[in-house]
Amino acid sequence: MAGEVRSRLRALWARVAPRARRALTVWRRSIQARVVVSTVLLSALVVAGVSFLLLQQTRNGLLEHRVEVVLGEVDAEMRDARARLAAASGTESNASRQQRDLVDPIIERGRGRGYSVALAGPAGEGRSLRDGGGEYTSGLDLLSIPRSLESHFDGVNRTTAWTYTEIASTAEAQTRAGVVVGSQIQLPSDGRTYTLYFLYPFTEEEETLGLVTRALLTAAGLLMALVAGVTWLVTRQVVTPVRLARQVAERLAAGRLQERLEVTGEDDIARLAYSFNQMATNLQRQIRQLEELSWVQRRFVSDVSHELRTPLTTVRMASDLIHDARADFHPSAARAAELLQAELDRFEALLVDLLEISRFDAGAAVLTVEEVDLAEVAERVVAAARPLAEQRGVQVWVEPPQGPVTAEADVRRVERIVRNLVTNAIDHADVEHPARAVVVRLAADEDAAALTVRDNGVGLAPGEAAMVFNRFWRSDPARARTSGGTGLGLAIAQEDAHLHGGWLQAWGRTGEGALFRLTLPRHPGTALRHSPLPLIPDTAPIPTGAAPTRDTPVREPDRGPRPVASSAGEEDR
């Protein structure tokens, strides 16, 4: 039984859930829907409150008026009854006849006027209508007379009293609201005091109240429809220009800088559209100026890079001759020849990087795709960088991956990315840190392959992780570059990663080192949605000692605290 109920509930939820999600979507995205619904709900609360107060006042007024009329009728009936009794001669032997003569005319008039009558008594003898006896309208349920009212007339010379009651009939199961009035009268035949109860139903009052209620409900429904329509119309006049502005803004963001809003009228919305168009025009002009400036800069870099190659070749040939003959020079001249050779090497590397950057800017960079084993690339790069690491006193190793880490990529560009990351980690190692190490980790899944380079260096200050890929940016301008970097390595590495459709991201914390993560799609054209390795490492220091082998257990990276920042333009998914 319980399983059947759960299955029915699941089936019901399966039908209701899509509609509920669509309704929530409309509620979240539509200002007009929220304003209309909120206004209608608030108006409904106000109308309900006002209608309730009006109904209460109408009901109280009808009841008070009805009670006044009933008391007047009862008073007239009692005066008529006393006059008839005073005009009749009676003795104790005909007391029952006097009761009938007293009550029967009243009962007959009650049938015509819609009220019931009951005669109880004698008062003060402890007898109740429920005990039997007495005269009353046929079909009247004597339980309709409340005991509280009967107890009021348990003695003689009691004043007229009334109360609300539910009038029941022995022929019908339904009760009707009404009022019951009691008044005492003395029969001349026996000198005893009897109580007459008059029961008046609120039939007309209930009909009137029902009519008023229906009228209020109809008016409230029409008012709610009117409020909803007016609110929808007003909000549409305000929201429609906002939606048009959003659409134009989206087209502007997509590069269609000539898009403008249509200005009609002179109201606030029209002035807003005019200001929006002015803003778009200024942005278009500034963007074009920046594009022209950027094009001039790229052109300048490209031209200068190409023009410097010829004189650099000549200077290189002369420098090589001088450097080869330095043994015959004076020690100071020999040192100058070595410095000249080193600076020419650095200048040539800078020129190569500038040419590569100009190719990226011109959109001329292309990929030569093949199956690449990232583990082999990492081992090859680490082996080449080991002399520099030993010179710096830094340990560098590659943690063996759990499985093959391959991707279809350009091996030259991937190797350049890894080389830049490793040499950058060695170059920024903290020389005062007792445990200096650089660890390369790799992992892959069905869609992506990832490589991280983690160091125990000086780390990155807040906000610097988004700036390390800027051209010529340095975290510490006073730091000496032992690896002879040009300041373009990470910028070129990021361009290489983007050319593959991948990510190159950074994490860092001052005094705790930094981590760079390269994520590549395993197949060209695959959109990346996640990375097999976390960007946020275990912030514990990297242990020193021998590099792990394939038989050595390696420490799996954990997700530690949140990163200080990540590279601009990419998300850690």
SS3 of the chain: helix, strand, coil, percent, to 5: 55, 15, 30
pLDDT at 563 > cutoff 50: no
For 49-53, 321-325, 557-561, which range has the lowest pLDDT when averaged over its residues?
Answer: 557-561
Give the model's pLDDT for residue 435: 58
* CB distance 344 to 319 below 8 Å: yes
* CB distance 362 to 403 below 8 Å: no
How much is the average pLDDT of 2-9? 78
Cα-based angle 192, 130, 84 (whole degrees, multiple of 5): 35
Count Cβ neighbours within 10 Å for each residue of 122-145 and write b for 16 or more, e otherwise: bbeeeeebeeeebbbbeebbbebb
Top-confidence residue, 450 or 338: 450
For 405-419, 450-464, 546-560, which range has the lowest pLDDT when averaged over its residues?
Answer: 546-560
In the block, tokens 């109408």 appear at 58
pLDDT at 521 > cutoff 70: yes
Domain 268-360 has what CATH class?
mainly alpha
Give the pLDDT confidence of 92-123 residue by residue, as tens digits: 456 677 777 777 888 888 888 888 888 887 77
Domains 268-360 and 366-521 equal at CATH topology level: no
pLDDT at 488 > cutoff 90: no
Top-confidence residue, 85 or 519: 519
pLDDT at 87 > cutoff 80: no
How much is the average pLDDT of 385-409? 88
What kind of fold does domain 366-521 have according to CATH?
A: Heat Shock Protein 90 (3.30.565)
> How far, in Å, CA of 527 to CA of 205, rounded?
75
Give the pLDDT confidence of 209-227 residue by residue, as tens digits: 999 999 999 999 999 999 9
pLDDT at 2 > cutoff 90: no
When pLDDT is cut at 50, 70 and 90, the band that residue 572 belongs to is very low
Give the pLDDT confidence of 170-182 residue by residue, as tens digits: 877 788 899 999 9
When pLDDT is cut at 50, 70 and 90, the band that residue 568 belongs to is very low
Within 10 angstroms of residue 366's Cβ, the number of other Cβ atoms is 9
**What string of H, E and C letters represents the secondary structure of 319-334?**
HHHHHHCHHHCCHHHH
Amino acid at 219: A
Pick the CATH number of 88-201 from 3.30.70, 3.40.50, 3.30.1240, 3.30.450: 3.30.450
When pLDDT is cut at 50, 70 and 90, the band that residue 476 belongs to is low
Give the pLDDT confidence of 12-34 residue by residue, as tens digits: 888 888 888 887 887 777 788 88
Give the model's pLDDT for residue 551: 37
> How far, in Å, CA of 128 to CA of 118, rounded?
11
> How far, in Å, CA of 160 to CA of 165, rounded?
16
Domain-wise residue ranges, the chain: 88-201, 268-360, 366-521
Give the model's pLDDT for residue 299: 73
pLDDT at 571 > cutoff 50: no
**Length of the chain in residues, anyone?**
573
Give the pLDDT confidence of 283-327 residue by residue, as tens digits: 888 888 887 877 776 677 667 767 777 787 888 888 888 888 888
